[in-house]
Amino acid sequence: MSAADWRASIEAAASRLREQGRGFVRETPLWKLSGSLFGISQPGVEVWLKLEHLQASGSFKARGMMNRLLSNTIPASGAIVASGGNAGIATAGAAQALGVHCEVYLPELSSEAKRARLRALGAQVVIGGAAYSDALAACLARQRESAALLTHAYDQQEVVAGAGTLGREIEGQGGLPDSVLVSVGGGGLIGGLAAWFERRARVVALEPELAPTLLRAREAGQPVDVEVSGIAADSLGARRIGNFAWELTQAHVGDALLLPDAAIRCAQLWLWKELKLAVEPAAALPLAALQSGAYQPRSGEKICLIICGANVDPGTLN
């Protein structure tokens, strides 16, 4: 798809979510703070926190999952998805809002907090293997039997365009930031943001050192399978970058940074202790990039941190 086609797809998704989404997808706050609060010494830096963890279902995934369901005829067997947790919760929530059945395949590493949330939403939960790729294989086999509408966690056009509405919303709320720092797993979120911002803002890809799907793809010149583990694996545990994300990041994203688990955990705890934001590890990578020095702001820069998800056990924030 061309850049113009992607922008049109995102605009259509925004309209669809507003007019047909039954109020499921929310406009989330954009919080503008001084860079000095975050220990940034460069003068005039402004840090924008896009509080997408306050989204319906607790993550940005609500946008893409609802857009996928609204863009297709849903059969009597409902919707089906494989997920580390967040895409499943978003699909289950969207399905509940639309009054359709939902079946979610999870890997063994998914958290009990996310499993409980799924059951509360009325989803049929199936543990489909050790890792996300195993759950996806089991999900695809089941979908061939049931003919349910498959919602992919990150690699469908409607899912990426739905995620892109987040970028559209940021620009509508605060204008154009200089840079956008975003976590990468399978790449649906960064794909959508890259499609919206293109090169008008500097979109920076952030990955855990133990789950470097985009970095390894860039080294190989194409998407490849990667072993994944670590603190954020339940959200960023895709073993291969999505095809849409690969194309969009190749076109619009220059920087791809790796962050250690220790820095991610430190940022997660800082967000809770200092700002009372209870978020999962995947949502802390943008702050970790600033706190660790992996990303160096320029004087006067407006930096948007995507706080992408809140499906975390509060008991872990000690």
What's residue 298's pLDDT?
97
**Locus of tokens 């160096």:** 296
The CA distance from 175 to 162, in Å, is 20
pTM, two decimal places:
0.94
In whole angstroms, how large is the CA radius of gyration of the chain?
18
The CA distance from 255 to 311, in Å, is 27
DSSP for residue 55: S
The CA distance from 116 to 109, in Å, is 14
Please choose, from the candidates 167, 165, 141, 135, the residue with its C-alpha nearest in 3D space to the C-alpha of residue 153: 135
Please choose, from the candidates 297, 288, 48, 318, the residue with its C-alpha nearest in 3D space to the C-alpha of residue 166: 48
Q: Which fold has domain 61-150?
A: Rossmann fold (3.40.50)
* pLDDT tens string 206-245: 999 999 999 999 999 999 999 999 999 888 888 899 999 9
Q: Which fold has domain 3-59+160-316?
A: Rossmann fold (3.40.50)
What's residue 292's pLDDT?
96
Tokens of 238: 């895709």
The CA distance from 61 to 55, in Å, is 9
Residue 174: Cβ within 10 Å count? 16
Range(s) within the chain of domains with CATH label 3.40.50.1100: 3-59+160-316, 61-150
Sequential pLDDT tens for the chain (318 residues): 999 999 999 999 999 999 999 999 999 999 999 999 999 999 999 999 999 999 999 999 999 999 999 999 999 999 999 988 889 999 999 999 999 999 999 988 888 888 988 999 999 999 988 888 899 999 999 999 999 999 999 999 999 999 999 999 999 999 999 999 999 999 999 999 999 999 999 999 999 999 999 999 999 999 999 999 999 988 888 889 999 999 999 999 999 999 999 999 999 999 999 999 999 999 999 999 999 999 999 999 999 999 999 988 888 888
What's residue 114's pLDDT?
83
The CA distance from 203 to 173, in Å, is 18
What's residue 315's pLDDT?
82
